[in-house]
Structure 1
Amino acid sequence: MDMRPEPFVPPAPMPRTVPPTRLQIIWTVMHNPLELWGRPSFTLPWIETKFFKERTLIVNDPGLIRHVLVDNAANYEMSEIRQLILRPILRDGLLTAEGPVWKRSRKAMAPVFTPKHARGFAGQMLAKAEEYAARYADAGPDGKIFDISVDMTELTFAILSETLFSGEIVTASESFSDDVDRLLHRMGRVDPMDLLRAPPWVPRLTRIGGSRVLGKFRKVVADTMALRRQRMAANPDDTPQDFLTLLLQLEGPDGLTPDEIEDNILTFIGAGHETTARALAWTLYCVAQSPHVRERMEEEIDHVLATGAEPVEWLDLMPWTRAAFEEALRLYPPAPSINRAAIADDHWVSPSGETVRIDAGVTVLVMPWTLHRHELYWEKPRAFMPERFLPENRGAIGRFQYLPFGAGPRICIGATFAMQEAVIALAVLMHRYQFDVTPETKVWPVQKLTTQPRDGIPMRVSPR
């Protein structure tokens, strides 16, 4: 007899049972694209449809995903609508650059994000997590309510600032969480003009006001670059050999242009920590609703910390903590859609012999949101079940049915960095404190570039 408690099913839009009208599509895409998808998106391996007379292929089959993102990746470029949204913000940053510019930038930055190099950041990650955890010390024995979604943004920014920029980002971090929200989620939202494929010079009314925040971020980047250049010139031997220095050293005719360096610094400051922050907040929320999971995590964390193991070892020594984070990434993937467009005609043959034809110009949507909740590939797909990702079970998860960091040439460069950061942060926080939901904790996921809670995640934080 199975005595395990019924797993927690966190809030998410139910699949539509009736196709939306054109007006409903526009409204939903503008406000929360996660509410757009119908039941076929969660039950069929692929779907051909049309959005505003544009043919779209929604792909859930892992084999077809591999074909698009890996085997024939050269035939698929960033979709036009994605670039209309992101390029005004990030220009030629790593998330939006294409062709030779992307290849040059990716090659230049790869050494910083190798697993070996990422492990070298563990001590700094631990120090910043402990420093941030101290903020909860005055919560009192009965605890105090904090918006965990804001707190995790501030924590991951502190870690990113210290590890990649040696703490020398020229900005007032007190308002940084709000600035990120305004930049990425005002400037980064879908506008009706995007759906109509209007050229970039046509004003986007939904983004009015965002340009001022973008200007503020650009100034932060320019000031940060100027400060580091001064330090490099004045005392090269005392300059931190971090991500910022590396980028500036690559400036030149055979490396990166000044504009490309600025774009990549903005990408990492503005978006580099955002995905991890959202996933950490969702993890703490789901764990709070799953007492048996929290108990296993606390036992594991307490044991590992009692042994004095170095933080670089925690990722391997804390399988339950890692699994909880990975399950939160499944249910609330920070990047809920991967958008591509076919350059030339293509086709793929399924193992059963069925042919999928992809004509040039067709938009291809690989949707981690639907893939991670798909009935063909997951048991109880809407439930929070970290045990799926324990070492003895994870072999059953196909490489292309779980894409929290994407796949192929454009896989997230910071995946190892993010996993290590998350486990260290969770261990520090959960060793000292208990995070509980309250009557005010009424969360709802919305897609604004990342999958984030509509009204934050208020939780009571109390000492353990």
Structure 2
Amino acid sequence: MTETYTPFVPPAPVPRTTPPSRFEIIRTVMRNPLELWGEPSFRLEWLKTRFFNERTLIVNHPGLVRHVLVDNAQNYKMATIRQMVLRPILRDGLLTAEGETWKRSRKAMAPVFTPRHARGFAEQMLEQSRAFTGRYETAAANGEVRDIAVDMTELTFDILSATLFSGQVAGTEAEFAGDIDRLLSTMGRVDPMDLLKAPSWVPRFRRMLGKPILAKFRAIVEETMTRRQALMQTDPQNVPEDFLTLLIGLQGPDGLSFDEIEDNIITFIGAGHETTARALGWTLYCLANSPQDREKVEAEIDEVLAREPDPVKWLDLMPWTRAAFEEAMRLYPPAPSINRAAIADDSWDNGKGETVTIEAGTTILVMPWTLHRHTKLWDRPEAFIPSRFLPENRGAIDRYQYLPFGVGPRICIGATFALQEAVIALGVLLSRFRFDCTDATKPWPMQKLTTQPEGGLPMRVTRR
């Protein structure tokens, strides 16, 4: 008798059915912006509203997403509130820079993240993933419970440090796991003064709490850069040819300034591995609650690892593993919001006689959180169904309805790197261990720049 497949529905805020008051908006945005969205945002193709007397357009139609982020991207700058939150942390890093600074940085870093170059990192990803599993051996033997959210942060830090910085980041992964969480909990969240568009000199209390942590981060990066610069001068024959060396080599009048290099290192150490870490944690959590899907992933991993030792090929040979990771990113997008502001008046025709007019100054919200759960775009959008991302089913997914890495000129430069990293890490972890939920595993999705599990992901680790 065939076992009935019942998709797992992971936790998420129930869409609001009544508009929140101004006070509720402030309180919810401060606590968890994911709890703010109403039912129309998951049903309508676009929605015009006013947010603190500011014209706002919520975009859920793939054609309109393409128009704003690709076809007419030059008319849409970074939204003010987004920059108020991110710029104090990342300054002129790739995620926050604009204009010529962004163009110079993007052009300079693009060669490191080509698919060909990313494949060159596969062996290091494999080595770091295998080394990381050593800490699970005792836990698995004793059936211990570990916080997988913290573990994945440490694993992705190890991988990032080894691949892009040749293991020469001045800090340790244990420091970064706690520091990043504290940084995002303080400086990575919207402040009421941001909503009111108060000048930057008006104090943001929560952000002030995060300044010592940010100062620590920048001190570590400065030490890392100083060490590498010294090595480049004293022993040039033994300088690693990695991302760090590339960036430092770009310093000069026609390249990047010292501060811009520091900002980009902060961006990749902080934001670059944080997003992948969160997606890996959510993937393991969802698979633990979906035994049939986990069996398919485990069987696939066992079969591939038995015959193909080259990790470069795993991404193509493990469609179920990749699909589980991509489905977890659909339900819990690492970056749950993409914010823009219209520079000049604009309009878009949906081809059915309906025109969306966009006035200059309008804030545009392309929300992967609502787009990925939209009732007109997805079948059972609330459920974990990895099979929708299998190669034979991907044709039904519009390019502009699934945006885990963004899209257009500002698409995540490390998307290929992250996908390869995730499949290799999952291949190693799930070939050796099984991760199961406990009574304490009750994560709640919370937006702190990334979609994080409030309460962590305590899971029991056992040997397969």
Superposition TM-score tier, normalisation by shorter sequence: over 0.9
**Mapped pair 1:38 → 2:38:** yes
Tell me, in whole angstroms, the C-alpha distance in 2 between the residues paired with 1:45 and 1:217: 41
**Mapped pair 1:184 → 2:184:** yes
> Matched residue of 1:377: which SS?
coil
- CA positional deviation for 1:142: 4.7
> Matched residue of 1:128: which SS?
helix
Tell me, in whole angstroms, the C-alpha distance in 1 between the residues paired with 2:192 and 2:129: 41
Partner residue, 2:114: 114
Aligned partner of 1:449: which letter? L
Tell me, in whole angstroms, the C-alpha distance in 2 between the residues paired with 1:381 and 1:24: 27
Deviation by residue 1:293-318 (Cα, 9 ceiling, x = unmatched): 01001110001111033000000000
Kindly indicate whether the alpha-carbon contact (under 8 Å) linking 1:323 and 1:387 is maintained by their aligned counterparts in 2.
yes
Aligned partner of 1:163: which letter? T
Aligned partner of 1:327: which letter? E
Aligned partner of 2:19: which letter? P
> Matched residue of 1:352: which SS?
coil
Partner residue, 1:416: 416
Partner residue, 1:407: 407
**Mapped pair 1:314 → 2:284:** no
Kindly indicate whether the alpha-carbon contact (under 8 Å) linking 2:140 and 2:433 is maintained by their aligned counterparts in 1.
no
How many aligned positions are there? 464
Tell me, in whole angstroms, the C-alpha distance in 2 between the residues paired with 1:38 and 1:236: 58
Aligned partner of 2:369: which letter? W
Partner residue, 2:211: 211
Deviation by residue 1:314-357 (Cα, 9 ceiling, x = unmatched): 00000000000000000000100000000000000012110100
Deviation by residue 1:7-53 (Cα, 9 ceiling, x = unmatched): 00000001101111111000000000000001100000000001110
> Matched residue of 1:209: which SS?
helix
Partner residue, 1:15: 15
> Matched residue of 1:365: which SS?
strand
Kindly indicate whether the alpha-carbon contact (under 8 Å) linking 2:60 and 2:371 is maintained by their aligned counterparts in 1.
yes
Partner residue, 1:353: 353
Tell me, in whole angstroms, the C-alpha distance in 1 between the residues paired with 2:308 and 2:183: 41
Tell me, in whole angstroms, the C-alpha distance in 2 between the residues paired with 1:2 and 1:312: 36
Tell me, in whole angstroms, the C-alpha distance in 1 between the residues paired with 2:251 and 2:55: 41
Partner residue, 2:293: 293
**Mapped pair 1:260 → 2:238:** no
> Matched residue of 2:146: which SS?
strand
Partner residue, 2:70: 70
- CA positional deviation for 1:224: 0.4
Tell me, in whole angstroms, the C-alpha distance in 1 between the residues paired with 2:142 and 2:232: 49
- CA positional deviation for 1:3: 5.4
**Mapped pair 1:239 → 2:239:** yes
Deviation by residue 1:203-239 (Cα, 9 ceiling, x = unmatched): 0012232110111011001000000001111111210
Partner residue, 1:58: 58
Partner residue, 2:152: 152
Tell me, in whole angstroms, the C-alpha distance in 2 between the residues paired with 1:34 and 1:140: 34
**Mapped pair 1:335 → 2:335:** yes
- CA positional deviation for 1:184: 2.5
Tell me, in whole angstroms, the C-alpha distance in 2 between the residues paired with 1:333 and 1:269: 19
Q: TM-score, normalised by structure 1?
A: 0.99
Partner residue, 2:134: 134
> Matched residue of 2:351: which SS?
coil
Distance 1:268-1:408 versus aligned 2 partners, 3 A rule: same
- CA positional deviation for 1:173: 2.7
- CA positional deviation for 1:185: 2.6
- CA positional deviation for 1:2: 8.6
**Mapped pair 1:323 → 2:333:** no
Distance 1:10-1:392 versus aligned 2 partners, 3 A rule: same
Aligned partner of 1:20: which letter? P
Kindly indicate whether the alpha-carbon contact (under 8 Å) linking 2:336 and 2:367 is maintained by their aligned counterparts in 1.
yes
Deviation by residue 1:237-258 (Cα, 9 ceiling, x = unmatched): 2100000000011111111111
Kindly indicate whether the alpha-carbon contact (under 8 Å) linking 1:446 and 1:452 is maintained by their aligned counterparts in 2.
yes
Partner residue, 1:371: 371
Partner residue, 1:47: 47
Aligned partner of 2:16: which letter? R
Partner residue, 2:456: 456
| Alignment of structure 1 residues 267-286 onto 2, 5 Å | 267-286=267-286
**Structure 1 stretch displaced more, 272-281 or 229-238:** 229-238
